[in-house]
Structure 1
Amino acid sequence: MRFLPTEVEGCMVVELEARSDDRGFFARTFCTDEFAAAGLDTQVVQANMSFNHRAGTLRGMHRQVPPHAEGKLVRCVRGAIVDVALDLREDSPTFGRHAMVELSADNRRALWVPPYVAHGYQTLVDETEVTYQVSGPYAPEGERGQRYDDPAFGIRWPLEVTVISEKDRSWPDWDGRPLP
């Protein structure tokens, strides 16, 4: 695997190193030794999948607050998405910045989203599936979010938003005060 830094401190694009032959290819998608060597959390306590019917579907921007650390390794296994990591860690040198990466079944990339960084994505095509390996258990009392189109952060989604939950549409804009 290759680990490529992004605009957000600690957020990495993970590329496969495929070994090809007449059958196709084989590649490691996760390795505790390689993740640890790259400085990433190696614990996986949960694996999730989401399926999205329509292009333009938006999920996010979600995060957990301390002490509920939840890093995510996100991979699109069918279709294509733009995946966004928004740094809301006030002590981070990249606070307020975001990384936007295309993940698809074709490019086979993944994105590591560090704990306490907000995460969301938009589907680029119909019938898209996304998997997550998560480093901590989901804690409803620690869930927070920011609105996907908050002008403070300037995220420019590539498509019109066609489907979004009421919860995700209703997250607040950042008001400039410290975030929990």
Structure 2
Amino acid sequence: MADDFEIDLDDIERRMDGALASLRQEFLTLRTGRASASMLEPVMVDAYGSPTPINQVGTVNVPEPRMITVNVWDKSMTSKVEKALRESGLGINPVVDGTIIRLPIPELNEERRRELTKVAGQYAENARVAIRNVRRDGMDQIKKAKAQGMSEDDQKFWEGAVQEQTDKAIAKIDAALESKQEEIMQV
């Protein structure tokens, strides 16, 4: 159909998938009352003079549904890891036992759960905005091709293809948000 003008749908799909992957990563950092090793991913430890991800100074495990343990490899780093966890803003009090740091995950109250669902909604809306920006870029490509002589039939075809990808990506975001909100509200 569109021999003269090709719109790069693969690039558009890749960028939309990137927005979805970013959303999923943000969802992993939300505390749901259940222990998850991914909760500690944003925590950086001042190790040997530079900020280092916590999983590069120790082993992060989830031995129980409400407990995370960090087995620090270098004994001299234990206090720095504990300090990084206390200052991380996760609201978790670390308990040090030798080189093992235990992080008991407290039960979430109803008010905090509602706040977290709102935060999840904000993350999803940011992802939707990113998807719409990718859609706009695709539509701009089509307008430029139209100005260079693309037929109206081809224009409608490409616009439909870009809109279809947008609708699929938005549906995936909505499904991920609904799933995350259910997980957060689960007692």
TM-score by length of 1: 0.22
TM-score by length of 2: 0.22
Structure with more relative contact order (C-alpha pairs < 8 Å, separation 6 or more): 1
Q: Look at both structures and tell me which one has the larger radius of gyration over its CA atoms.
A: 2
Structure with higher helix content: 2
